[in-house]
Structure 1
Amino acid sequence: MSEARGSGTGRGLRPQAGRPDHRSLRRRDRHHHPEPSMTRPFLQGHSDPTVQPVPASVVEQVDAADTTLSNPKRAVISLGSNLGNRLETLQGAVDALEDTPGVRIKAVSPVYETEPWGVEPGSQPSYFNAVVVLKTTLPPSSLLERAHAVEEAFNRVRDERWGPRTIDVDIVAYADVVSDDPRLTLPHPRAHERAFVLAPWHDVDPEAQLPGRGPVAALLAALTRAGVEPRADLELRLPE
């Protein structure tokens, strides 16, 4: 497979007017981008899985700060999906993160299609991957809690380490924090060897640094991009 090059079409933040109820995950109405083929279980009589309560611990820490984002920290989150409607799931995760108190999405990367890691070729569907850059007043532990809540909303199952999944929401980096905390290692311990993380991150932030590892551009240049292909025909939209 030839080396894939990022399209560099990641999108920056647009001004926002108004915020939804901070205690719910809510998908915004995107009637101006109809997706008639993107059917999901909640359209068949089930509740919308993206409508989930924000954990009380998160609300307590950031409710007051949400309107101002006083002293926010920059964080990078990697998204991946290889089950169901992958693009719609990634978009739902982006929207859910933006609807979190104390979080503002600054950029959403182009989409990449990636062969699964750690399994026999052809044994699983390929992944759609993307990176989100955000500003947040949440501490790392609460951001992790929110990431897990988004995964649970999309029925993420953790039966096997390299098993297929509806959604992965991984914290790649949080400010300049380097930590060996067993619950949340920062930066992500395998980010430096994953082109499907570094390529979309580099697309939206060419000067990015992975704490403790160096420039993302240099780390990416040292990796093969075989099995990591940009999908210029697909796009994730910034929440409005």
Structure 2
Amino acid sequence: MVVALGGNLAGGYGSSEALLEAALAALPAAGLAVLARSGWWRSAAWPDPTGPEYRNGVAIVAAPAGPEATLQALLTVEASFNRRRGERNAPRTLDLDLIAYGRVVMDTPDLTLPHPRAHERLFVMGPLAQIAPDWIHPVLGRTAVELAATASIGRDARPATR
């Protein structure tokens, strides 16, 4: 399974990267074993670039409970990091998105797989291309590397340097 992690508010962690590291470390307790993870990427806030800069990354996880249960586990982890849902694309401490669950294709009121906009976002496809360059989008049939090269949102995204 592919999970995207992101945020642009540090909460009580000192930095967005520290919060994301803590969230990544919390996934196994939620039943999501981390098999691989990207480095953190940075990008301007979107759609309002005057907001705090984002940090994003991707993890490949083992999630044996099914897509809906995986989504619920991700929402539980978000809530434990004080994620509050309000205005769309507003600054946030933590965003965990289920990008793909194997080759599953589904569209329900609560979950669309693969994620309907992930392929357009360099801050998702770039990190995914780092750890799984040959990952193939279940609908588009294109690799993570190909999708990163054509992503139209977050074109300023780049690996963060410490």
Is the TM value for this pair above 0.5? yes
Aligned to 1:216: 144
Q: Which residue matches 1:117?
A: 46
1:200 matched to which residue of 2?
Answer: 127
Runs of 4+ in 1 over 3 A off after TM superposition: none
Match of 2:157 in 1: 228
Query: What is the TM-score of this pair, normalised by structure 1?
Result: 0.62
Distance in 1 (alpha carbons) for counterparts of 2:136 and 2:9: 31
> Separation in 2 of the partners of 1:153 and 1:133?
21
SS at match of 2:112: coil
CA–CA distance in 1 between the matches of 2:139 and 2:151?
18
What residue identity is the alignment partner of 1:92?
A: A
Greater C-alpha radius of gyration: 1
Q: Which structure 2 segments of 5+ residues have no match?
A: none
Distance apart, 1:162 and its partner CA? 1.3
Aligned equivalents of 1:149 and 1:226: distance in 2? 30
Output one character per residue of 1:128-177: Cα deviation in whole Å (capped at 9) or x when no partner. 10001011211111111111111111111112001100000000000100
Match of 1:146 in 2: 73
Shift in Å, 1:100: 2.3
Map of 2:29 onto structure 1: 99
Structure 1 SS opposite 2:97 = strand
Cα pair 2:30 2:77 within 8 Å, conserved: no
Higher helix share: 2
Q: How many residues align?
A: 156
1:210 aligned counterpart, secondary structure: coil
CA RMSD of aligned residues (A): 1.3
Q: Are 1:82 and 2:4 an aligned pair?
A: no
Q: Counterparts of 2:155 and 2:97 in 1: how far apart (Å)?
A: 22
Q: Which amino acid aligns with 1:105?
A: V
Contact (CA 8 Å) 1:110, 1:232: kept in 2 or not?
no
In 2, distance between residues paired with 1:134 and 1:208?
A: 14
* CA offsets 1:188-213 (integer angstroms, 9 cap, x no match): 00011000000000100111111101
Aligned partners of 1:198, 1:223: CA distance in 2, in Å? 8
Aligned-partner Cα distance in 1 for 2:155–2:71: 30
Query: 1:93, CA displacement in angstroms?
Result: 1.0
Structure 1 residue 226, shift from structure 2 partner: 3.0
1:182 and 2:109 aligned = yes
Instruction: Report the secondary structure of 1:134's partner residue.
Output: strand
TM-score by length of 2: 0.91
Amino acid at match of 1:96: A
SS in 2 for 1:171: strand
List alignment gaps of at least 5 residues for structure 1. Answer: 1-74, 234-240
Output one character per residue of 1:177-232: Cα deviation in whole Å (capped at 9) or x when no partner: 01111201000000110000000001001111111012121111123563202113
